[in-house]
Each structure stands twice: as structure tokens, then as C-alpha cells.
Amino acid sequence: RLSPGSRSPPPPGPRRQASWIHRRLDRHLYTRTVSPPVQLALTRDRIPYLVGRLGSLKLPHLPRLSVGSPDLEAARRLLSEEGLLEGRYWIFFCGSGARTKNWPADRFAEIARRLLEEGLHVLCLGGRADREAQEAFGAAVGTTRPGIHTRNELPWGTLKGVCRLARGILSNDSGPAHLAQAVGTPSVVLFGPGDHVSYAPFLGTFVKADLACQPCQSFAGLCPDNQCMKLISADAVWEEIRRLPVPASPVLPPGG
């Protein structure tokens, strides 16, 4: 139901009806059918999308997280401590909460080395469950190497801010990958056992191996060799990183 303030006059022309359910009788009941983006998995998101396609309501169709001035100020303090410049670093999320979803640490390290050669830095972030993955990445790339930075368990606002100010984000299939897109930063997401159809990034791209068993949704370590993640090459990921557009204004004004 629309509130009085959100109503708008019906568009001119014949009355239109739409549905996102494709059934045999739909063509007799509706003037058109609509297929929402797979990212709109919830009914509360699909209904505004459907109404918007009828021309009655204009709403943003994809999720967004606001990043306020306090978030950016906290992020800039962290960047200053680490010696990082806005728009000149990539964020890595090497963990995911499930080992079967993690790309090998040596591949993350290879991408980090290539970014360093491009004059960019790498900020590896994670939570309590990601310590092992972060340590493996550090051992592979060398945590004392200039340009490599690691932080754990950032406050929510700071995390949003550093994601917003980053050039891009490389992540396993995990919650932080969705956060990165919601604040407006393009991402490259690595899919193995997870559902790349339902959770493909809407801002950026994804990489996966072409195996018949994908997506198995096995996050409990039941796969004997986890080939779906091991077969993703550093070259394939690097190619997608190079394809991402560079933000026109990666550096936000203070407080903006």
C-alpha cells in the first residue's frame, strides 16, 4: 500500500498490469511480465521494483548503505595511521567464515604483488573467524612488505568508510562483499560452493571455475579437494580487476 505522499497519477494510455510470476495463464491476465534482478531476493524489494516498472513509483532498485560524515572521519583516521591514500588502495577479504569458500592465500598474495606494481596498496580486513585466512595471506605475501596493511574487527561505521574510500574490493563469497557494493565500491567476488546466480555482485563482477558440481552449497568442509576454489587462477582474477572502471572521483571531499 502506498502512502498518500508517494502516490502519483496513473500513466496515460491503457491500464497496465504486471506480474513477476511466469505461468501459462499470465498472458491472459497481465499486459506484461517482469523479471526482477536476482539480487532482489526479498518480496519487500521485489514489490517496489514491480510498481516502479509500472511507472507509478520511482525507487532505487538496488540496496544502498549510507556512509555518513562520522564514518568517513573514522575511516580517514585509520587511513592516516596506515599511510593510505583515498582511492589508492584495494581491500582484500581473504576469509569468509567457511574454509571451502576461501581462495588459496598464495593467489591473494599474487594479486597483491601485482597491485603493488601498479602503485596501489592493499588493506586486508577480517573478523575473528578470518584470522587464519589473514595469517595465511600475510605469510604468503609478507606482512612487513611496504604497501601491505592488515586490520581486524573494525567498528561498523569505520568499515563502511574504508570500503567507500577504496579503489576496489577483492573478496571471497561473504558478507563483506555485499557491504562493499552497498556503499558504492566495485567488487570482484570469488565463488566456489556458493550460489553465484542469486548472490552475484550488482556492482562489479565475479569469477568462478566451470565445474558441473557448482554450486554445491557445501560450506561444512565436506568436499574432498575444493577444486572449485583452487581452479580459479590469479590471471583470471587479475583480468577482471583490470576491467573494472576506475571511479571518476575516487577521493571524496572531507565530510562529503
CATH code: domain of residue 189 = 3.40.50.2000
User: What single letter denotes the amino acid at residue 49?
Assistant: Y
What tens digit of pLDDT does each residue of 94-141 get? Answer: 999 888 899 999 999 999 999 999 999 999 999 989 999 999 999 999
Query: How many Å apart are CA 52 and CA 67, to the nearest integer?
Result: 25
Regarding whether 192 and 125 lie in a shared domain, the answer is: yes
> Residue 198: its pLDDT value, please?
75
Higher pLDDT, 156 or 35: 156
Residues 158-174: what's their mean pLDDT?
Answer: 95
pLDDT at 205 over 50: yes
Higher pLDDT, 109 or 251: 109
What contacts 59, CB < 8 A, 6 or more positions away?
A: 48, 49, 51, 52
Higher pLDDT, 249 or 64: 64
Regarding whether 22 and 82 lie in a shared domain, the answer is: no
Higher pLDDT, 248 or 239: 239
Regarding whether 24 and 135 lie in a shared domain, the answer is: no
Q: Which domain holds residue 181?
A: 69-243
Higher pLDDT, 31 or 255: 31
> Residue 211: its pLDDT value, please?
87
* Predicted structure pTM score: 0.75
Query: How many Å apart are CA 144 and CA 211, to the nearest integer?
Result: 37
Regarding whether 205 and 99 lie in a shared domain, the answer is: yes
pLDDT at 17 over 60: no
> Residue 219: its pLDDT value, please?
64
Q: Is 139 part of any domain? A: yes
Regarding whether 199 and 230 lie in a shared domain, the answer is: yes
Regarding whether 140 and 114 lie in a shared domain, the answer is: yes
Among 206, 207, 161, 200, residue whose Cα is nearest residue 184 = 161
C-alpha cell at 56: 507509478
Q: Is 255 part of any domain? A: no
> Residue 44: its pLDDT value, please?
60
Q: Is 46 part of any domain? A: yes
**What number of helices (H) and strands (E) belong to the chain?**
9, 8
Residues 206-223: what's their mean pLDDT?
Answer: 80
Query: How many Å apart are CA 186 and CA 169, to the nearest integer?
Result: 7
Regarding whether 78 and 43 lie in a shared domain, the answer is: no
